[in-house]
Amino acid sequence: MEHLGIINNLYNQKDVFSEDCCYKLISSLFCYTNKYFRVEEESMMEHRYPRFWEHRDEHLQIINEITKYNNLLNEKNDFRLVAKNIGIFLCRWFCSHNLISDYSYAHYINSITYTTNYNIV
């Protein structure tokens, strides 16, 4: 949940936020999603998660949204608007993707681990 740290950094810098901070924020989101989503998707494939493609589509939507904010920053150069929208996006990402989709995957992993460890079929 590294992106919670990103949310906290955004909030803590709200009074001194700059264009440079906005570019760094977008860059850190790209780095985080590339690393985290790849690891998570590999795990899903390894464990044959039945909702893999649906979950992967959510990842692609998140990456597309980050790309949209990057493009908006480059085109409009209104870093305050972009930062505000990214803040809303990050909260929505945490509430919808993490608390619902990732939780569903965690529940699946726990259920197959329990079944495997106790030979319950």
Long-range contacts of 38-41 (CB under 8 A, 24+ apart): 40/102, 40/105
Does residue 51 come out as left (phi exceeding 0), alpha (psi in the -120 to 50 range) or beta? alpha
Say whether pLDDT at 60 is over 80: yes
CA dihedral 59, 63, 64, 65 (to 10 degrees): 100
Residues above pLDDT 70, as percent of the chain:
79
- Angstrom distance (rounded) from CA 119 to CA 110: 14
CATH of the domain at 94: 1.20.120.50
The domain total for the chain is 1
Domain span at residue 33 reads 2-118
Say whether pLDDT at 121 is over 50: no
Average pLDDT value for residue range 69-92: 85
For residue 117, the model assigns a pLDDT of 53
For residue 119, the model assigns a pLDDT of 52
> Is the pTM value of this prediction over 0.95?
no
For residue 8, the model assigns a pLDDT of 66
Q: Which of 32, 27, 4 is nearest to 94 (CA)?
A: 4
Say whether pLDDT at 22 is over 90: no
Q: How many Å separate Cα 26 from the centre of its chain? A: 12
